[in-house]
């Protein structure tokens, strides 16, 4: 999943993902039990923390921004790379100090690491009272009761149905303008390097009626952009049978069966509501989705289409089920239908098992061909239990992995800078997201193609749409001047 880029200076891939931590805000409600959540990993996890907050709110908890004063501290964790798990272990060691001062504080590990390690986490990390997997959050009130009665509690049951469709998320990190809507959970793809199918379980889609209702509700509250989230949004599906099971009227869902239909219905909520989505899988993105994007101005012209590698043999070993030619065909089709300017980004893995120097060069040449605006770049990190761990040797030395990653990052930085240079002199519609970090006299927002633009405030505020002419740029940011009508 693509992470939310809150900083204006775009960091290189590994730093960008590793540094992103979301922390609950201070609600300032005295007399109530206090909840602190720290969230790691992808947007799905950040979104889940909003579901958890909602469930805990029902139990009388209010959020705090400091675990020192929390009654309950949750770490919502990520297992995608070894580094992500090490970060969480270090945080647990740090929190341990605070628990000495506040022995009644309950410490829970949620999310993907909880799912992967299950009760082993209780043995390995004595400070942990509670281990809860991504499909078991409705059970939190019972589990907390178990902890209150002096036991440790674990629920890592994975569901085939849970989508939390009826739970209205507490918007934890909201700027009041942009929000995320989970449209599906889990993943059935089994890419050989990836732990997600094991930590998140089988793929399931959320009922379309509740998705559209959530988008409408956000619009009514003043939000102007929603991002539809899933590990693989293009495989969203909804059937007549599921419809009957969820007891929905036919008219409620208006014949939505696939992702293109869903995208269209969300776009129709209001022309002033921008719609984004992430992540698209190259094997599944259809021309129907591309034509739907073209048809509606408010569907943003930006696609996160992770390639992972530019070499067909490596892609086969990764079990991505497409090859280089297939990927290039998808990119060509995107440019043909949506134009050369459609924003494109990717995820890259350097140094996958057995990758040769020539195969690494294929990744670089693919990047030169596509000219991504942005990439999230990593070196391969072997994960226990994955297909790659069982089948292949993690045989590329760390210094080679790191050198290849550096080459990928350097090329991406160059491509990002060139992509921004090409925008100088062009005009864009920008949705304002807030005040620039560097100057309170300036605002920032995004173009439809997902580029961050900084410009003078004038009399505008967040949530407004403005037209901006681009006058300059860095690698990660465009600068512009307002075109007043």
Asked if residue 112 belongs to a known ligand binding site, the reply is yes
- Of the two residues 302 and 380, which places its CB atom closer to ligand SAH in the complex? 380
Q: Which of residues 134-173 bind ligand SAH (CB under 6 A)?
A: none
Length of the chain counted residue by residue: 485
* One character per residue 186-215, x = contact with ligand SF4 (rule: CB under 6 A): -x-xxx--x-xx------------------
Check binding of 2 to ligand F3S (CB under 6 A): no
Check binding of 13 to ligand SAH (CB under 6 A): no
* Residue 124: strand, helix, or coil: helix
**Token pair of 191 as six digits:** 């890419």
> Minimum distance between the CB of residue 115 and ligand F3S, rounded to whole angstroms?
8
The span from the CA of 464 to the CA of 408, in Å, is 37
* Number of chain positions touching ligand F3S (CB under 6 A): 14
- Of the two residues 78 and 267, which places its CB atom closer to ligand SAH in the complex? 78
Q: Which residues of 260-272 are buried (b: 16+ CB within 10 A; e: fewer)?
A: bbbbbbbbebeee
CB 410 within 8 A of CB 401: no
Q: Which of residues 345-374 bind ligand SF4 (CB under 6 A)?
A: none
Task: Tell me the window of 89-97, 141-149, 267-275, 376-384 that interacts with ligand SAH (CB under 6 A).
Answer: 376-384
Residues near 3 by beta carbon (within 8 Å), at least 6 away in sequence = 16, 17, 20, 42, 43, 376
Asked if residue 342 belongs to a known ligand binding site, the reply is no
Asked if residue 194 belongs to a known ligand binding site, the reply is yes
- Of the two residues 88 and 187, which places its CB atom closer to ligand SF4 in the complex? 187
User: For helices 140-148 and 43-58, what crossing angle results, to 10°?
Assistant: 60
Per DSSP, the residues of 343-364 read EEEEEEEES-TT--HHHHHHHH
Which residue reads 């009644």 in tokens? 104
CB 308 within 8 A of CB 333: no
Task: Tell me the window of 38-46, 67-75, 135-143, 167-175 that interacts with ligand F3S (CB under 6 A).
Answer: 38-46
**Token pair of 59 as six digits:** 């139990």
Return the one option of ligand SF4, ligand SAH, ligand F3S, none that residue 351 interacts with (CB less than 5 to 8 A, by type): none
H helices of 175-239, where? 196-200, 208-220
| Member of 199, 235, 243, 450 binding ligand F3S (CB under 6 A) | 199
| Member of 231, 243, 436, 448 binding ligand SF4 (CB under 6 A) | 231
- Of the two residues 76 and 449, which places its CB atom closer to ligand SF4 in the complex? 76
Half-sphere exposure of 96 (CA within 13 A, CB side): 11
The span from the CA of 293 to the CA of 280, in Å, is 13
> Minimum distance between the CB of residue 145 and ligand F3S, rounded to whole angstroms?
27
| Member of 70, 349, 408, 411 binding ligand SAH (CB under 6 A) | 349
* Residue 315: strand, helix, or coil: helix
> Minimum distance between the CB of residue 189 and ligand SF4, rounded to whole angstroms?
4
> Minimum distance between the CB of residue 355 and ligand F3S, rounded to whole angstroms?
22
Residues near 53 by beta carbon (within 8 Å), at least 6 away in sequence = 24, 35, 37, 61, 63, 169, 170, 172
Alpha carbon 13 to its chain centroid, in Å, reads 14
211 C-beta neighbours (distance < 10 Å), count: 26
The span from the CA of 277 to the CA of 281, in Å, is 12
* Number of chain positions touching ligand SF4 (CB under 6 A): 10
Return the one option of ligand SAH, ligand SF4, ligand F3S, none that residue 44 interacts with (CB less than 5 to 8 A, by type): ligand F3S
> Which residues contribute to the site for ligand F3S (CB under 6 A)?
1, 41-42, 44-45, 78-80, 111-112, 195-196, 199-200
> Which residues contribute to the site for ligand SF4 (CB under 6 A)?
187, 189-191, 194, 196-197, 231-232, 281
> Which residues contribute to the site for ligand SAH (CB under 6 A)?
1, 80-81, 193-194, 196, 231-232, 279, 281, 306, 308, 347, 349, 378, 380-381, 383
């Amino acid at each position: 999943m693509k992470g939310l880029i809150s900083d204006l200076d775009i960091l290189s891939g590994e730093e960008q993902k590793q540094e992103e931590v979301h922390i609950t805000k201070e609600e300032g409600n005295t007399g109530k039990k206090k909840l602190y959540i720290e969230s790691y990993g992808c947007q799905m996890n950040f979104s889940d923390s909003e579901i958890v907050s909602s469930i805990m709110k029902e139990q009388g908890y209010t959020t705090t921004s400091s675990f020192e004063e929390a009654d309950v501290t949750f770490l919502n964790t990520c297992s995608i790379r070894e580094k992500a798990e090490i970060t969480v272990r270090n945080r647990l060691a740090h929190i341990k100090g605070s628990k000495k001062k506040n022995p009644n504080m309950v410490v829970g590990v949620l999310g993907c690491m909880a799912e992967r390690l299950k009760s082993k986490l209780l043995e390995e990390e004595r400070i942990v009272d509670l281990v809860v997997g991504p499909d078991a959050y409705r059970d939190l009130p019972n589990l907390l009761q178990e902890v209150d009665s002096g036991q440790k509690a674990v629920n890592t049951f994975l569901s085939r149905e849970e989508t939390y469709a009826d739970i209205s998320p507490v918007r934890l990190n909201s700027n009041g303008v942009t929000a995320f809507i989970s449209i599906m959970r889990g993943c059935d793809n089994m890419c050989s390097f990836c732990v997600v199918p094991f930590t998140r379980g089988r793929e399931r889609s959320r009922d379309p009626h509740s998705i559209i209702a959530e988008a409408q509700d956000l619009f009514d509250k003043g939000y102007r952009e929603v991002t539809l989230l899933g590990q693989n949004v293009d495989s969203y599906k909804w059937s007549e049978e599921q419809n009957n099971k969820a007891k929905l009227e036919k008219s409620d869902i208006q014949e939505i069966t696939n992702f293109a239909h869903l995208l269209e219905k969300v776009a129709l909520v209001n022309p002033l509501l921008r719609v984004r989505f992430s992540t698209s899988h190259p094997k599944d993105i259809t021309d129907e989705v591309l034509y739907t994007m073209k048809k509606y101005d408010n569907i943003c012209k930006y696609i996160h289409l992770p390639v992972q590698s530019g070499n067909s043999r490596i892609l086969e070993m990764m079990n991505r089920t497409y090859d280089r030619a297939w990927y290039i065909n998808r990119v060509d089709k995107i440019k043909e239908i949506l134009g050369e300017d459609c924003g494109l980004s990717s995820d890259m893995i350097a140094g996958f098992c057995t990758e040769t120097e020539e195969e690494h060069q294929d990744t670089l040449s693919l990047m030169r061909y596509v000219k991504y605006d942005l990439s999230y770049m990593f070196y391969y990190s072997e994960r226990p239990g994955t297909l790659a761990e069982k089948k292949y040797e993690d045989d590329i030395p760390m210094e080679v992995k790191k050198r290849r990653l550096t080459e990928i990052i350097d090329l991406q930085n160059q491509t990002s800078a060139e992509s921004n240079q090409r925008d100088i002199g062009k005009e864009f519609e920008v949705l304002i997201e807030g005040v620039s970090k560097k100057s309170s006299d300036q605002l920032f927002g995004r173009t439809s193609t997902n580029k961050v633009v900084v410009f003078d405030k004038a009399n505008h505020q967040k949530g407004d749409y403005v037209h901006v002419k681009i006058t300059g740029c860095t690698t990660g940011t465009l600068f512009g001047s307002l075109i007043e009508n």
